[in-house]
């Protein structure tokens, strides 16, 4: 194998591993969006994400969407998220949070701890409600959080996993998110905190998030996310992103195919030298030469006559 083939083969392996690393999360975690980022003590285990692991050093973990959203006054948005989680150990809590990308200013957090569901807005103003079950017993719970801009209200629903979505919210909280963040880009995520004691754990088993435009006349008491109208500007933006990502992957695959073909050419075809024989057996051919006479004086006379006529 030539040096050129070895270089191409190494490049092929490097490119393949790079593309595979971008697809690994989506392949191993079907219950999460591929744009999910892990931070802190968060770890992907058996298709679920452990935000806090049952060790004496695990105190904080978070997941966050790479997709940014913006609450604007001129275009009302409906935000819906649902996630399945389980908490083990006293003192551990789980939060769904919406915050600015700059990480400065106020953030909205919906916290689950003990048997309490609470909404915090970062300035000491919030609201809480008690739930009929304790979250820290290791059981699976499913939560639905909805925000609709026309009513400027957050609605929280929670129940045991498999029980279905309730029509009656556990907690409702009024807030104008567009005014709160002055139409800046924000990011959504889930975070967990604990005391770092052995046996504590916070696990997120699934997480979904949607942003949709809604008609201004639609209010939600209770809100039904299935009745809202998809917002064109949001969907088109996401569609462009998906098209861009698909284009990058397609280009990468094309490069890989080209490299493989060149490598095989070098290995199997390039090793042979194709030599043209120096002598060819050609039958002799008779050539005839015929003398052609040209009357140069007559040509110049014709040119002169043409000049005179002009």
Where along the chain do its domains lie?
31-230
Residue 250: per-residue pLDDT: 65
CA distance 26 to 74: 34
Residue 75 is given by DSSP the state: S
Does residue 282 have a cis bond before it (omega within 30 degrees)? no
Q: What is the pLDDT of residue 48?
A: 93
**pLDDT of amino acid 241:** 46
- Residue 25, Cβ density class (10 Å: 0-12 exposed, 13-18 middle, ≥19 buried): middle
Which pLDDT belongs to residue 57?
67
30, 36 in Cβ contact below 8 A? Answer: no
Confidence (pTM) = 0.61
State the residue for tokens 């997120």: 204
The separation between CA 32 and the C-alpha centre of its own chain, rounded to angstroms, equals 11
- Counting every residue written for the chain, the total comes to 310
Query: SS3 for 44?
Result: strand
* CATH code assigned to 31-230: 2.60.120.200
pLDDT at 137: 92
Residue 67 confidence (pLDDT): 86
3-state secondary structure of 112: strand
CA distance 157 to 164: 10
* pLDDT mean by block of 10 residues, the chain; 310 residues: 51 47 50 88 91 78 90 79 93 92 82 94 81 93 92 94 92 90 88 82 93 54 39 38 53 65 62 47 48 46 48
């Amino acid at each position: 194998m030539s040096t050129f083939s070895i270089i191409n083969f190494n490049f092929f392996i490097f490119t393949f591993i790079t593309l595979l690393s971008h697809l690994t999360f989506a392949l191993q975690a079907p219950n999460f969006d591929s744009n999910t980022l892990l931070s802190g003590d968060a770890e992907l285990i058996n298709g679920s994400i452990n935000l806090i692991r049952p060790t004496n050093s695990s105190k904080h973990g978070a997941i966050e969407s790479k997709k940014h959203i913006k609450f604007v006054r001129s275009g009302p948005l409906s935000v819906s998220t649902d996630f399945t989680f389980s908490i083990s150990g006293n003192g551990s809590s789980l939060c769904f949070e919406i915050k600015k990308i700059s990480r400065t200013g106020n953030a909205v957090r919906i916290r689950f701890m003990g048997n309490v569901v609470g909404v915090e807005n970062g300035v000491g103003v919030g609201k809480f409600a008690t739930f009929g079950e304790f979250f820290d017993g290791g059981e699976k719970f499913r939560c639905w959080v909805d925000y609709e801009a026309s009513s400027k209200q957050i609605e929280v629903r929670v129940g045991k996993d498999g029980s279905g979505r309730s029509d009656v919210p556990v907690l409702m909280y009024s807030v104008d998110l567009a005014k709160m963040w002055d139409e800046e880009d924000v990011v959504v995520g889930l975070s967990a905190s604990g005391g770092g004691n052995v046996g504590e754990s916070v696990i997120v088993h699934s997480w979904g998030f949607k942003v949709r435009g809604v008609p201004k006349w639609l209010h939600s008491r209770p809100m039904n996310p299935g009745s809202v109208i998809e917002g064109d500007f949001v969907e088109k933006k996401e569609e462009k992103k998906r098209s861009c990502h698909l284009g990058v992957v397609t280009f990468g695959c094309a490069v890989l195919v080209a490299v493989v073909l060149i490598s095989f050419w070098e290995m199997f075809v390039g090793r042979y030298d194709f030599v043209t024989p120096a002598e060819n057996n050609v039958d002799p051919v008779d050539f005839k030469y015929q003398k052609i006479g040209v009357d140069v004086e007559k040509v110049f006379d014709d040119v002169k006559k043409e000049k005179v006529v002009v």
